[in-house]
Amino acid sequence: MLLGYNHNINYKGSVFHIQTEDSGVRNPHIITLLYREGVILCSQKTSYADILRIDNLEAVVEDLMKEQHKEMLRRLKSGEFDNKAFGTPQQTEAKPQEPKQENSVPPPPAPPAATIAEDINGIELLFQEAVQTAPPSAAEPPKAAEIPAKKQDAVSLDDAILNFFGASK
């Protein structure tokens, strides 16, 4: 079982957590989860059962984990999850309003739109930490409140990806 990857990302004024884990050769798949305020916005699961017999399995699985983790970071940066995260619908053409009918129930009011910064490149890495994934029989992991936050200087998402995977400028 390989190390997992965890990043807390500040994107458009909110903190998102991206976590990638290997489930090991007994359950050969890689799972990446994207969280905002404890809610899973997206999950991606990739099986590697078809390559279990290769000689350099650990290195290949590690590369697969890194790529899947980076892809989730890219998807966040692209704005793919903005609607789920902030409740702001995509821009659509205005539809003509239908005439009101008697005894009709008015639609519920729209939730207030979150204030969102326009600069999509304003993603900042709050901290990064590689963690060892515990085997399924291990005790429950510590709660988030028990884990001390490691505050580091904020960097752009592009720089964080490059630094994290050893391809810094």
Query: Over its length of 169 residues, how does the chain's per-residue pLDDT go in tens digits?
Result: 677 999 999 999 999 999 999 999 999 999 999 999 999 999 999 999 999 999 999 999 999 999 999 999 999 999 999 999 998 654 444 444 454 444 545 555 544 333 333 333 444 444 444 444 444 444 444 444 444 444 445 566 767 777 777 765 5
Let me know if residue 100 belongs to a domain: no
Supply the pLDDT for residue 153. 52
Given this model, what pLDDT does residue 5 score?
95
Structural domain containing residue 73: 1-86+120-135+149-169
Q: Phi/psi at 120 (nearest 5 deg)? A: -70, -20
Predicted TM-score (pTM) of the model is 0.56
**Domain-located, residue 166:** yes
- Give residue 92's pLDDT: 40
Token digits for 70? Answer: 């980076």
Longest distance between any two alpha carbons in the chain, whole Å: 73
111: number of Cβ within 10 Å: 9
Considering the domain boundaries, does residue 4 fall inside one? yes
110 in a structural domain:
no
Asked if residue 158 belongs to a domain, the reply is yes
**Would you state the pLDDT for residue 155?**
60
Q: Which residues does 22 contact at the CB level (< 8 Å), separation at least 6? A: 1, 2, 4, 30, 61, 65, 133
By CB atoms closer than 10 A (0-12, 13-18, 19+), residue 52 is exposed
Q: Is residue 140 part of a domain?
A: no
Q: Assess if residue 94 is contained within a domain.
A: no
Which residues on adjacent β-strands are paired with residue 40? Answer: 35
From residue 71, give the alpha-carbon distance in Å to each of 59, 61, 142, 165, 168: 18, 15, 27, 13, 18
The tally of CA atoms less than 13 A away on the side-chain side of residue 44 is 17
Q: Which helix (H) or strand (E) holds 8?
A: strand 3-11
Residue 156 DSSP one-character state: B
Total domains in the chain come to: 1
Strand order from edge to edge, sheet including 29-36: 39-47, 29-36, 14-22, 3-11, 124-132
